[in-house]
Amino acid sequence: MTAVRDVVAAVVDPELRVVTIDELGILRDVAEESGRITVTITPTYTGCPAMDVIRSDIRRALAAAGHPESEVVTVLSPAWTTDWISPAGRDKLARAGVAPPGPAHVVPLTLAVRCTHCGSPDTSQISRFGSTACKALWRCGACSEPFDAMKAL
């Protein structure tokens, strides 16, 4: 089972290609019964257009690993939170130029978002809606460069 789970866990998010679905915290369960694999995932945002791609990527990865019979189930509850992104996932996001989110359960706007280019905490939000549903657009006051930051949810 570990091997099967590893195959699924290695599927990357199609919009944040540096992190896997496991690191993002959306992979909930991988179960096997009579050779048939059932993978349970949860959406980040309700309208996230990446979900369909993730479902087919999971099935393709399993088929390539010798498991043609698989099903991907989506559960809503408990609702995903950015707090489930693993420490490794957060590091990878930051290195790819997406500032990782602050904790979801405190007031997020009081925390400084560090510039992903120069590391300065002198940053400001340009728009709370960015290139994908999960990101906001920020700008650095020190180096003047814009960058994406993942919203706490």
| Residue written as token pair 């089972």 | 1
Query: In Å, what is the CA distance from 114 to each residue of 90, 106, 107, 119, 147?
Result: 13, 18, 17, 5, 10
Tell me: does residue 77 bind another protein (CB under 8 A).
yes
Vertex 26: Cα angle to 22 and 30 (nearest 5): 70
Closer CB to another protein, 49 or 141, in the complex: 49
Binding residue for another protein (CB under 8 A) from 10, 79, 111, 112?
Answer: 79
Report the residue from 9, 38, 45, 145 that binds another protein according to the rule CB under 8 A: 45
Region of 11-19, 28-36, 74-82, 85-93 interacting with another protein (CB under 8 A): 74-82
107 part of the interface to another protein, by CB under 8 A: no
How many residues sit in the footprint of another protein (CB under 8 A)? 23
SS3 (DSSP) at 59:
helix
Which member of 69, 73, 122, 131 binds another protein (CB under 8 A)? 131
Other CB atoms closer than 10 Å to residue 18's CB: what's the count? Answer: 16
Q: Are 122 and 145 in contact (CB under 8 A)?
A: no
Residues that bind another protein (CB under 8 A): 43, 45-49, 75-80, 126-133, 137, 151, 153
